[in-house]
Structure 1
Amino acid sequence: MSNWSLCPLLLLLAVHLVCGSVDLPGSLDPSLLENVDVDQLRSNYLPPGLQNTTVTLDDFKKLLQSKCQKANDHLPKGSVNASALSQSVQDAAVTLGECLSGLANMTEIQAEIAEASPKGDLDVVFEKYCLRMPQAKTCLKNFNEALLPCLTPDEKAHNAVMQRIGDKLLEFICYKNGDQIALFIAEQGPECLQGSRDGIAKCLNSSFAGYLPKDLSPEWNLPQLVLGPKECVDLYAFETCTVELLEKCATITPSNIVESMFRYVRRESSCQPHIDRAKRQQRQALPLTGGSSASLHLTWTSASLLMATLLARLA
């Protein structure tokens, strides 16, 4: 079973929301999953060979239940109700969405940004919402507690890191009451991301083939939520690829802010030694390739991204 990292998931989801390829509602309700446009997600995120997959939302629910069951296989048979655990995760995801949307309504934020931008008052808008950051962290903590019973021992060992990364992402967004995000918008950051969407998609798809099953069937196992050496290198590869794309935008500020976000998150993990080792191996391999540039490839699967986006629509 392939592993996936929550860290690039969160980072790319942030990019995805800014680019606006999936519309988020202003408020959420328990029937939210039924309104997800799975066809849109397939066409946006799966490689061409897998875009005709017939996996449904019910299949994903079954995958979640299966994951809850397998995570508890070490316990006495019959001692764990995987169906109930799976339902608890789904309910918690809806609660998380309601909690976060109560703190920050996307439709209202967009309207406030549009009104504040011409006046140079974006910092006022973000300060208002950043004051709610402690409540947002509580929302995430409550969801995480519901998720824990469905995590494997390895995933639980990585969970504290994942929690810190989620908290640090919020802190980065609200650094100095949102100054960086206000600057990002003022310096055409959203437009830069929008114009780079195709390139970012190529970064994502650069090495999907080795990490996706040949057929996305209901029997496919959900990947693990861990941040190991391989995932660290993949995150750095995605960072490098994305930053290089954004550097081609009209101003360098969006690229600098995105790069700072990646680095800010990396400091909360133990990734740097693994990244440094990969860089050394790359340099050592250069003479064997005739001096050609060897590149690190992103290995986060598009199936993981698909599942992430579904969970994002819940949350």
Structure 2
Amino acid sequence: MSNWSLCCPLFLVVFLAVHLACGSLDLDPSLLENVDVDQLKSNYLPPGLQNANVSLADFQKLLQTKCEKAANDKSVNATALGKSIEEAALKLMGCLTGLANMTEIQAEIAEASPKGDLDVVFEKYCLRMPQAKACLKDFNDALLPCLTTDEKSHNAVLQRIGDKLLEFICYKNGDQIALFIAEQGPECLEQSRDGIATCLNNTFSSYLPKELGNPADWSLPQLILGPKECVDLYAFETCTVELLEKCETITPSNIVESMFRYVRKESSCQPHIDRAKQQHKRALPLPLTGGSGSGSTSSLHHLTWTAAGLLMATLLTRLG
């Protein structure tokens, strides 16, 4: 639930709040009928958390506690704020499902692919992008009262990233995603699924406790994109791209890398990433033989994600 959501922290709250809404408000849970929660836990949670005995009430309390801490005002009804997020999350999922039903899209793709008409399918859905952005904004508005001061300062950036991600997918009415599918992108992702799960856990597991223990001691990760999050996200990017480069065609990895870069431009991450890369470069031993440094970029990328924890300790110390 958490590792893949941390790649875009807003999704963590969406996923949690939808589960809460379906349980506590007696609303239609059919929106989640295709989500295999056990598989998500097995693939993406660290071993110590996969078999945790956690109740729905525990997660509701977690969301309420976050609202209480953010509001820092006893007159604020944190329970009501939590409920409003749950309702807004379910509304968001309903809105997005109404705009793009995955079952229907898959059927349309299967029919259009042999004809070379994928662009027609995605143009149809990309014309709905303004409504999708509006859905995300409505949910974000409900989320704001439960964000800390730091989270609020990062909120506009995260909103822009969400918008830019939609724009990338719908660039030229979906040319990118149509090319991704035509060039065996989905097959490449499926082939790399286990490796990507490892990238996620290696990069983001530090955001979670080693074990859940007492729910009263939990806290949701900060929904921010600071120096640590920037470097960790870049670590996940490089790890994932290296995996996808092993697929039969290079196009899927190129498109995924372009997506990361496109989204990253909306953040202030690049200086932190550049600094981290320079620190690693200075730490690398000199080669024993001469040459032009062939393969140095790949080695640097590999070190970036495998040593993210050490990187961040140094980086944060320098940043004060």
Distance apart, 1:172 and its partner CA = 0.4
Deviation at 1:105, TM superposition (A): 1.1
1:30 equivalent in structure 2: 27
| Equivalence for 2:198 | 202
Identical aligned residues as a percent: 75
Q: Which has the higher contact order (CA 8 A, sep 6+)?
A: 1
Aligned with residue 119 of structure 1, among 102, 115, 118: 115
Aligned match of 1:107: 103
More helix by share: 2
Output one character per residue of 1:228-281: Cα deviation in whole Å (capped at 9) or x when no partner: 011100111111000000000000000000000000000000000000000000
User: 1:5, 1:231 within 8 Å by CA — same for their partners in 2?
Assistant: no
1:231 aligns with 2:229: yes
Q: Which runs of 5 or more structure 1 residues have no equivalent in the other structure? A: 14-28, 301-315
Note the 1:35-184 alignment, pairs <5 A: 38-73=37-72, 75=73, 77=74, 79-184=75-180
Whether contact under 8 Å (1:211, 1:299) holds in the other structure is no
**Matched-pair contact (CA < 8 Å) for 2:203–2:235:** no
Q: Are the counterparts in 1 of residues 3 and 201 from structure 2 also a CA contact under 8 Å?
A: no
The amino acid that maps onto 2:133 is: K
Contact 2:43 2:194 in 1 (8 A): no
What is the CA distance between 1:56 and its match in structure 2?
A: 2.8
Q: Indicate the residue corresponding to 1:270 in structure 2.
A: 268
RMSD across aligned positions (CA)? 2.9
Counterpart residue number, 1:9: 8
Which position in structure 2 is the counterpart of 1:241?
Answer: 239
Normalization by structure 1: what TM-score?
0.82
Q: TM-score, normalised by structure 2?
A: 0.80
| Partner Cα distance (1:134, 1:285) in 2 | 47
Are residues 4 and 71 of structure 1, via their aligned partners in 2, closer, same or farther at CA, if it must alter by over 3 Å? farther
Contact 1:239 1:259 (8 Å CA) reproduced = yes
Task: Give the aligned residue type for 1:243.
Answer: V
Offset at residue 204 of structure 1 (A) = 1.3
- State whether residues 4 and 231 of structure 1, in contact with CA within 8 Å, keep that contact through their aligned partners in structure 2: no
Distance 1:7 1:49, change over 3 A: closer
Deviation at 1:181, TM superposition (A): 0.1
* Change beyond 3 A, Cα 1:209–1:193: closer
* Structure 1 residues 188 and 209, CA gap change in structure 2 (3 angstroms): closer
Cα contact 1:7–1:162 (8 A) shared by 2: no
Closer, same or farther: CA 110–34 of 1 in aligned 2, 3 Å: closer
| Larger gyration radius, structure 1 or structure 2 | 2
C-alpha distance 211-140 of structure 1, shift in aligned 2 (>3 A): closer
Q: In the aligned structure 2, how far is the partner of 1:279 from the partner of 1:11?
A: 27
